Structures are given as structure tokens and as C-alpha cells.
A and B are shown apart, each in its own frame.
Chain A
Amino acid sequence: LSIFICMADEALFQFLHNEVIQYVNTTESGETENGRCVSKLENMGFRVGQGLIERFTKDTARFKDELDVMKFICKDFWTCVFKKQIDNLRTNHQGIYVLQDNKFRLLTQLSAGKQYLENAPKYLAFTCGLVRGALSNLGVKSIVTAEVSVMPACKFQVMIQKM
């Protein structure tokens, strides 16, 4: 039974996420439609990320440094939201981190071919905001962008902004 409940949970989030994208897409019309749509989704993600991190870090020890925070995002945070860990975390030790997910959950329902590649940014905007919000609430200001080259795989780039 618990498996079904768990699956239902995930499905709910996925369907809702899809609907939100559809909704934002239809309400925003005009030339700059795409950019505004993405930033709207990003802002929603930001607020959700802030709330989530408050929940998730309630019982964890204090973080040592920035890398410690990033590891938490890749492991615990990602597992809670997407039921898997980030597959690869790379950094240049100068404030840029690349988080690679080989099978990103929110893209798995789309075709693996090139057909929907141009729609991918819309499906990643919320998550970019989610990560940015989470980091911001942990005291790390950043810019988060995402890119897809082959369909369910995607890379999130986190640029830490030094104050």
C-alpha cells in the first residue's frame, strides 16, 4: 500500500507542476511571453524552496561551509523532492557548481527525442527557483540556470554570488 501512496504523491506533484506550466503559459501572452513565463515559474519555485529548506533542515546539524550546503542539496534535498540523488556534482572551487541529473523526474514524461527540446526550459524553471530559494534561505545568494542536451538528462549550474 505504501508504494501506491508514494506513487500517488509523486504523480500529484508532477501533474500539478505540468498544469502550472500550462496555466502560466496561457495567461502570459505577448512578445516576451516565454521569458516572463519562465521567470514567473522561477519565482514560484523560489518561495517553495525557502519553505522546504526550513522543514528539511530542522533537525540537521549546522553546515560547515558552502560545499557542505551543496552536498545537502544534492543528497537529502533532491531525494526528498525528486526521489533520487543528483548523479554528479562538480565545482571549480570558485563559486560555480554543476549539478547533473541523468534522469530528471520532471522531464521523464516528455519524449526522449529532440521533439520537445525547446520546451524544456519551462519544465526546469520551477526547479531552478527551488534550488535558488533553498540556497538563499541557507544564506547563500546564487544564480541558478539549467540546460538540457539529451532529454531526460539535465545540468543545473549554480553560480554563487559573493557579497
Chain B
Amino acid sequence: MAVCVAVIAKENYPLYIRSVPTQNELKFHYTVHTSLDVVEEKVSAVGKALPDQRELYLGLLYPTEDYKVYGYVTNSKVKFVIVVDSSNTSLRDNEIRSMFRKLHSSFTDVMCNPFYNPGDTIQSKSFDSIVSAMMVQSS
């Protein structure tokens, strides 16, 4: 389903980034990095919006020829970015949303782990396996 999943800290450095191994990793890092500007833009626009638009899920950030980039920002300003293959047209908004929800609740568990220092890279196995599950479904 997803070709790249990234978690980005409040201060805009990556906490976690993983992409499908067969493809160009650097390109995904670049894609995720570029998406941060769009996230910023959306979040600052949301401040003035109606209460029902103050959702954590930001929706489609931008489509490129090959990929679609989706974003999600938690209240603690941590960003989640999912990159999806454009050829995959069967994917609905709802499914993306639930993927983000899963990521978020797993991230919450990581944060509540007493051995995890907030701001460190995520090395949790359970988080890893959730991301793996999201990528496996694509093939």
C-alpha cells in the first residue's frame, strides 16, 4: 500500500523513516522533506478555520506523477507522512485515515515507554511491524 512512511519531530528532523527497499531511498527522503512546507502551510491555515476542520488528518498534501503524499499532525506537532504509489487507485481516503490512526496510537505507545527518550529515533519493534504491515499490502 504505502511505499514510504515517515515520522518527523516537532523540530522537523526525522524520528523514523522507512521506504520500500527496492526503490530509491534518497528520493523518498527528499519527497518527505519537501512535504513539510505543505504541512506547515496547512496547519497555519487550519488555525483560522472552523472547529470541524481542526482535524489532525491533513489529507492529500500533493500529488506528483508517480506518488501521492498524505500528511497528519498530532497535537504535539509530530508529523506523520505516508507516500503512496499513484498507480494504486483503489485506495480510499478512509483507509489512509485509518493507517494514520494506527501509526498515531502506536506512536503514543512509544512515547509512553519509560525507556524511550522523547526526541530520539524510534526503534520500537511493534512500531516497526505496524509500518511493515502497511507496506506489505502494496505488493
Contact = CB atoms under 8 A, between A and B. Distances in A.
Do A and B share a complex?
Answer: yes
Interface of A: 47, 50-51, 53-55, 57-58, 60-65, 137-139
Nearest to B55: A61
Interface string B30-60: 0000000000000100110001001110000
Nearest to B118: A50
A55 B76 contact: no
B54 A58 contact: no
A58 B103 CA distance: 11
Given A61-B54, A64-B54, A138 B118 contact: no
Given A137-B76, A139-B76, A51 B51 contact: no
B108 A62 contact: no
A51 B111 contact: yes
A138 B76 contact: yes
Nearest to B51: A61
15 contacts: A47-B118, A50-B111, A51-B112, A53-B76, A54-B74, A54-B76, A58-B105, A61-B55, A61-B56, A62-B47, A64-B47, A137-B76, A137-B118, A138-B75, A138-B76
Contacts of A55: 108, 112
Contacts of B114: 47
Contacts, number: 48
Given A62-B73, A65-B47, A139-B76, 6 more contacts: A47-B114, A50-B111, A54-B74, A63-B75, A64-B47, A138-B76
Contacts of B107: 54
A145 to B, nearest CB: 23
A142 to B, nearest CB: 15
Given A62-B54, A64-B54, A137-B118, A57 B111 contact: no
B68 interface: no
Interface string B104-124: 110110011010001000000
From B76, B77, B105, B112, residue with most partner A Cβ within 10 Å: B76
A61 B75 CA distance: 8
Contacts of A47: 114, 118
A139 B55 contact: no
B56 A139 contact: no
A16 to B, nearest CB: 14
Contacts of A137: 76, 118
A54 B111 contact: yes
Nearest to A64: B47
Contact of A58 (B55, B77, B104, B118): B104
Contacts of A65: 47
Contacts of A51: 111-112
Nearest to A54: B111
A47 B112 CA distance: 9
